[in-house]
């Protein structure tokens, strides 16, 4: 259970990191 929570937490962290990168890329002009 603990390992599963860590696994999901890592996935959420990567997902939010990717979202932040996309938002920063969208806001920042090329």
Q: What is the DSSP string of 1-30?
A: -HHHHHHHHHHHHHHHHHHHHHHHHHHS--
Give the pair of three-digit tokens for residue 29.
Answer: 């002009």
pLDDT of residue 24: 64
pLDDT of residue 4: 84
pTM value is 0.44
For the chain, give every domain's residue range: 1-30
Q: Measured in whole angstroms, how far is the alpha carbon of residue 3 from the centre of its chain?
A: 19
Q: What is the pLDDT of residues 1-30, one digit of tens each?
A: 678 888 888 888 887 776 666 666 666 665
């Amino acid at each position: 259970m603990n390992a599963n929570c860590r696994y999901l937490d890592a996935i959420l962290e990567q997902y939010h990191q990717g979202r932040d990168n996309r938002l920063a890329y969208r806001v920042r002009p090329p």
